[in-house]
Every structure is written in structure tokens, then in C-alpha cells.
Amino acid sequence: MTNVTWALVTGASSGIGAEFSRQLAQRGHNLILVARTKTAMMELADEIRSTHGREVEVICQDLTESQAALAVVDQVRRLGHDVDVLVNNAGFGTVGHFESIPADREHDEVMLNVVALTDLTKQFIPDMAARGRGSVINVASTAGFNPAAYFAVYSSTKAYVLNFSLSLWSEYQGRGVKVLAVAPGPVATPFFANSGIVRESLGPRATSPEFVVSKSLKALDRNRGYVVPGGGNFVMAHLMPRRPRRFIAKLSRKFTRPALRASGSRPL
């Protein structure tokens, strides 16, 4: 009997999520695509079926809802599939003075970037551990390595993703479950338009989703724990010291002011 493996990818309708879906299909996985945008997912599903000959299921779900993970799990169980690879890619960011960003927007940001990611991992990783195999990929950001003025909520959620992922990576050593945090810098995806951030304000260079996903899957194969795709991004993520914390927090304003100006806000 053929050992059929299934990968579930959130935020699969575009960008990094869509590329994870393509490259995982190329590796032989069937796909469960999860996002809010059904039309885009259906188009991607058709592409994967025709190009790679894999089975593809589509789940339309808003992951900012409080019981979103349970709703996804319920639909996966109805389909009768075990999830062998979980890719928590869905997320967005906000930029601006903290008091000027709508509270409901940043509430949704935490629900998506932190709560949904945690809840989905909580639901699927026990079965992976019981089977003695499985992988969890959580998409963080280089913004998670240090405080980032004007990106307070976004950088904090990504710091959570980094620490959460590495904690689980350590915890599941020797149990057959791999956990990887992916911390890309700017990537050429709809993320910036969706988040109200002018990408060029963060520097002229942006990596491609294809590059990020390829590096991520290679790091997963080696059970690296985390990966920062791109040499320049790696250096920037690790060059800045972690201490003293107050100095680093103040210094961050120098690097984030361009994004603040581009968003239409005035630095104070």
C-alpha cells in the first residue's frame, strides 16, 4: 500500500504559502490549502493537480476567528486525512504609531500570527508524535530578532514564533518530529500591500518566494531548527546585538522610520 502523505499550508492563496504548496507537491505530498480567498486557492489547486498530479483539498477559513483552528481540524477529519507536514504561513503586519493603528486590526494580527499558529500546531503535533514522524514549519521574520519601533505588534508576534518554534524543536528531538522557524527578510509577495507597508522603504532588495521556500525545505531536511534565507538577511539578523535592550529598542527607530514615512505617518 502506498504511503500517502498530506501537507497543510495556511495562507496558501499567494506568495510564500502558494510556493510552499508547489514545492511540497513537487516533493510528493498531497495538499490541503487553507486561506480566506477561495478563488485563488482553487486556481492553485488546479495548477498543482495538472503539474504534479497530486491530490489537493481546499478549506476556506478566516484564521483570525477565535475557533478557526478547531474549524480547520474538523474539516480535515471529515476529509479523512492525517497531516504529515503543517506549514503555518498565514500572517500580516502593521506599521505606524501604536496609538494610531486600529485596535481591531492589531487584534486580528495577534489572532492570526500567534493564536491560529499555536492552535493549529497544538492540534496536529500530538498525532505526529504518536506516529513518530511529521514536520511543522512556522513562518516568522527577521523582524522577530529584535524590537522594532513602529512595528511593535508585528515584530513581537514574530519573536513569539521564533521562540515557540525553537522551543518545540528542542522538545521533539529524537521523537521523529521536526520543527522549523523560517525568518525571511523582505520577500516579493502581496504581504506588503496587504499590510499597508511600502516594500521599498525597507531596502531595495527582496528575495523571491521560490528562494525562501527552497532554502526552508533544505533546512527542514537537516532539522536545523530555524533558517534565515539569504546571506545578507542572515548577517543583518545576527549582526545586531541583543543587549542592552533599551539601546537596541531606541536604535530600531533609525531603521524603521523609512517605512513609517512611506505609510503616510509622521515620525514623532
d(CA 63, CA 234): 30
Edge to edge, the sheet with strand 30-35 lists 56-60, 30-35, 6-10, 85-88, 134-139, 177-182, 226-227
Active site residue: 150, 154, 172, 226, which one? Answer: 154
Residue 264 phi, psi dihedral angles, 5° rounding: 100, 0
Joined together, the cell numbers standing for residue 162 give 521564533
d(CA 256, CA 98): 13
The distance from CA 98 to its chain's CA centroid, rounded to whole angstroms, is: 23
Residue position matching grid coordinates 480547520: 72
Burial class (CB in 10 A: 0-12, 13-18, 19+), 265: middle
d(CA 182, CA 162): 8
Closest C-alpha to 109, from 43, 41, 155: 155
Told to judge if 154 belongs to the known catalytic residues of this protein, a careful annotator would answer yes
Residues facing residue 226 across a β-bridge:
181
Catalytic residue annotation? 154
